[in-house]
Amino acid sequence: MWEQAFDMLEQADRLHRQFFQLSRERTAGPSWEPPVDVLESPHHVVVVVALPGVAPDQLQVVAANGALSVVGERPMPMAAGAALKRLEIPYGRFERRIELPPGHYEIEQRDLEHGCLRLILRRL
């Protein structure tokens, strides 16, 4: 039982670090990587990217060379006269590159709902 509890704590810690991981590449501003889920079936790959607060027009999605790239920006909300007291949510430019299972794909469906980008890739 304790081993399971420690495994779950370790997994939660890994997810937390992944969500707030800064990109290793130098860019013109802050950069972070959103967490993703990847599900595979015989004919499709479904990718879900957690992007709360990101507008659809702030996203660029490209499937090429065996990978899927999701690039965009989450602007920092600014309230006139407000002082920053805590900043835990990552803002600024983000980029996430997801290696795809072997094969050729095209983006069949793209939805941004409830803060998650859901992509359905069809195997060609």
The pLDDT tens digits for 58-76 are 999 998 889 999 999 998 8
Q: Which two tokens stand for residue 82?
A: 């407000």
- Give the residue, 22 or 115, on which the prediction is more confident: 115
Residue 7 confidence (pLDDT) above 80: no
| Cα 55 from Cα 75, distance rounded (Å) | 9
- Give the residue, 109 or 64, on which the prediction is more confident: 109
* Model-wide pTM > 0.75: no
Residue the block writes with tokens 């990978």: 67
Residue 29 confidence (pLDDT) above 90: no
Ramachandran sector of residue 53 (left: φ over 0; alpha: ψ -120 to 50; beta: rest): left
* Residue 95: band (very low, low, confident or very high) from pLDDT cuts 50, 70, 90: very high
| Cα 9 from Cα 16, distance rounded (Å) | 11
| Cα 122 from Cα 108, distance rounded (Å) | 6
The mean pLDDT value for 10-36 works out to 65
**CATH architecture of the domain with residue range 2-76+90-123:** Sandwich (2.60)
- Each domain of the chain, given as residue ranges in start order, spans 2-76+90-123
Q: CA geometry: angle at 114 spanning 75 and 77, to 5°?
A: 20
Q: What percent of the chain has pLDDT over 70?
A: 84
Contacts of 120 (CB under 8 A, 6+ apart): 44, 45, 46, 107, 108, 109, 110
